[in-house]
Structure 1
Amino acid sequence: MSKLTEALSQDKLGVCLKLEASEVKRVYRTTELLPDFDFIPYDGGTDKDYPVWHEFDLSDEAIFIHSLILDDYGYFVDDDPHDDPEYELPKATSESTGKLALELQMADRFGCRALVRGSLSGTSMEMNMDVRFNFIVASYSGESSRIGYAAEAIAEGFAFEEEGKLKQAFFSYFSALDSFVESEREKLNKGQSDDQRIKPDIRLMQKLQAIIKANMPPSVGGLDKVKNGETLRTVSTSAKNSETLSLTTRKQSRLLRPTLICALPSPPSSWRWLVMISTKKKRLGSTTL
């Protein structure tokens, strides 16, 4: 079980994709790039290197951003095959002028904004040309049909964790776990007699154990019998789009790090994934699951 937990903790985006707490998609924006002439004087038709930057509002595409890369950029030409993934946008108007050199400077995960900075080497003609930006974004943009509110809390926690705000991430993950457990408890209690119902006043971990036991097929024999390889292949297949993201690998922190783990190999119900918090009890302080 520890190997499964460790492996999935290295692919949290893949787990978020499976839980519908994140999705990977392409986002396109087209705009003119106007230099700030407070930094460098305008020289009209004379070739000159101008510093440029532009902020993009992506709030219509996401509520939380988990990862963002600038996949391509260049001058927009009407007849070019923009939708062809193999097509590279032109980054100059000729061999000697109109050169663009841009990079993604910052991504605001909660404000859902992207800042692109760089230089435009050219004249006023290039300043009046449209430049197209192709982003690849992993983000949460709406409620999950699989686990409801818990997906939003997981998405928020993952965004906090990517920013290194681990305390906020922990509380978001804990909120997701609590929401998921309560939802499943209510489902399991329907039609049950009072003595068979999962009580609302017991500890969260006891509720979780009862839910796992109720949904575990008899032939499995407990969580220790879950096949790690089979489970991880399920994650990999479902999250294949995440491979297009060149995510920066973060060093493991010694602070509290909630982990999303897969629990059930062959569930009788429609849900397959449980959210669990993997941590050492001594780091919880006075908090008891």
Structure 2
Amino acid sequence: MKPEVFFEKVSERKLDALRRIAIVSDVELKHRPSLSPEYEFSKYEGMTEKDYFFFDEVDFSEDITYCFRFELGEYGYRVENEDDLYPAKDDMGTGEFKLQVGAFDRRRRTCEIRGSLHGSTFDINGEFVDPELNYKITGVSAEQKIKLSLFQELLLEGYLLELEGNQRMSFFSYFTAMESFVTVQLEGFVQSLTSELQEPFERLPFDAKLRIYAKELLSTTDFSKVPVWSELSGKLKRLKSLRNDIAHAKGTTSNIAAQDVDDAFACACILFSLAPERTNWKPVYSYLLA
């Protein structure tokens, strides 16, 4: 696998990579939608059967910490002692309701659903007013939040910012994630230094710490034997320059392109995946996305 192919594929499959790196998973949840019609859009006509439009909001903020995707599942009426959900009360379609996904707010962790209910005032205000909706969130559940490291949280926040179109802060979050990762991985090395050397070490630039980390991890100083290293170090040198511009408030948001964001994310993936048995592009890719 060529380096450019690796970077292209990882940029196309960020969410899949986050499943490996940051405990992203599919979480299945249930919601009891309100079928109260919006009479502003569909006039109330008593016992006449017709389609009434309604809106509802699914709030999963207590169950989910980070959410990236909302998928509507099976929905309908629950009949006692049966597993299936039924779309209507009878074979004539009475009380049938249809749903579609509206606005999805990843920050608030809510999703609007809208649809239509076929029936009369009896169907709206009588029985079967408490249907069931199944849905799936791709993200990180609230109970998993405690397991997240700073590196993982920064990657997740960076991806969320990227989806929101904030390339500048997404890039900054991805780069900061890499700095955090290397710092944590070198904690044992720092403790092995004398107290006189620990403070000077902390002042070393990121690229110097990165070389020390790679040397300790791979037990080598000959990085020509590490195929991913040349591409990684070259990209990080350029990305570091962009990161410093952001940190010192230089330039504008337009300085950060989508390619810069993609490269920062891919470099973070390489750092996470790097190991003595994974120094070539194909093993790193397989570890991340196979």
TM-score normalised per structure 1:
0.71
1:115 alignment partner in structure 2: 112
Residue 139 of structure 1, CA deviation: 1.4
> Structure 1 residues 39 and 195, CA, compared in 2 at 3 Å: closer, same or farther?
same
14, 25, 28: which one pairs with 2:30? 28
- Counterparts of 1:35 and 1:171 in 2: how far apart (Å)? 45
What are the within-5 Å matches in structure 2 for residues 165-244 of structure 1?
A: 165-193=166-194, 199-216=201-218, 221-224=225-228
What are the within-5 Å matches in structure 2 for residues 250-269 of structure 1?
A: 253=258, 256-257=261-262, 258-260=264-266, 261-262=269-270, 263-266=273-276
> Structure 1 residues 255 and 7, CA, compared in 2 at 3 Å: closer, same or farther?
closer
1:81 match: secondary structure: coil
Q: Is the 8 A contact 2:34 2:56 kept in 1?
A: no
- Counterparts of 2:196 and 2:13 in 1: how far apart (Å)? 40
Percent identity, aligned pairs only? 24
Q: Is the 8 A contact 1:48 1:121 kept in 2?
A: yes
Deviation string, structure 1 residues 97-130 (Cα, Å, up to 9, x no partner): 2222211112111110010011111123433522
1:39 alignment partner in structure 2: 41
1:60 match: secondary structure: coil
> Structure 1 residues 183 and 100, CA, compared in 2 at 3 Å: closer, same or farther?
same
| More helix by percentage | 2
Q: Is the 8 A contact 2:54 2:114 kept in 1?
A: yes
1:134 alignment partner in structure 2: 134
2:7 alignment partner in structure 1: 5
- Counterparts of 2:228 and 2:105 in 1: how far apart (Å)? 40
* Aligned residue identity for 1:10: E
1:259 match: secondary structure: helix
C-alpha RMSD of the superposition: 3.1
1:40 match: secondary structure: coil
- Counterparts of 1:256 and 1:13 in 2: how far apart (Å)? 14
Listed as ranges, the gaps of 5+ residues in structure 2 are 230-256, 285-290
Q: Is the 8 A contact 1:143 1:151 kept in 2?
A: no
Residue 181 of structure 1, CA deviation: 2.0
Q: Is the 8 A contact 1:32 1:127 kept in 2?
A: no
- Counterparts of 2:80 and 2:276 in 1: how far apart (Å)? 51
- Counterparts of 1:117 and 1:187 in 2: how far apart (Å)? 54
Deviation string, structure 1 residues 170-220 (Cα, Å, up to 9, x no partner): 122122222222212223212234698682222222222321221125599
- Counterparts of 1:256 and 1:205 in 2: how far apart (Å)? 19
Listed as ranges, the gaps of 5+ residues in structure 1 are 83-88, 226-251, 274-289
1:104 alignment partner in structure 2: 101
2:54 alignment partner in structure 1: 52
> Structure 1 residues 199 and 74, CA, compared in 2 at 3 Å: closer, same or farther?
same
2:114 match: secondary structure: strand
- Counterparts of 1:45 and 1:188 in 2: how far apart (Å)? 77
- Counterparts of 2:140 and 2:18 in 1: how far apart (Å)? 9
* Aligned residue identity for 1:115: E
- Counterparts of 1:223 and 1:24 in 2: how far apart (Å)? 34
Q: How many residues align?
A: 237
2:244 alignment partner in structure 1: none
Residue 92 of structure 1, CA deviation: 2.1
2:89 alignment partner in structure 1: 93
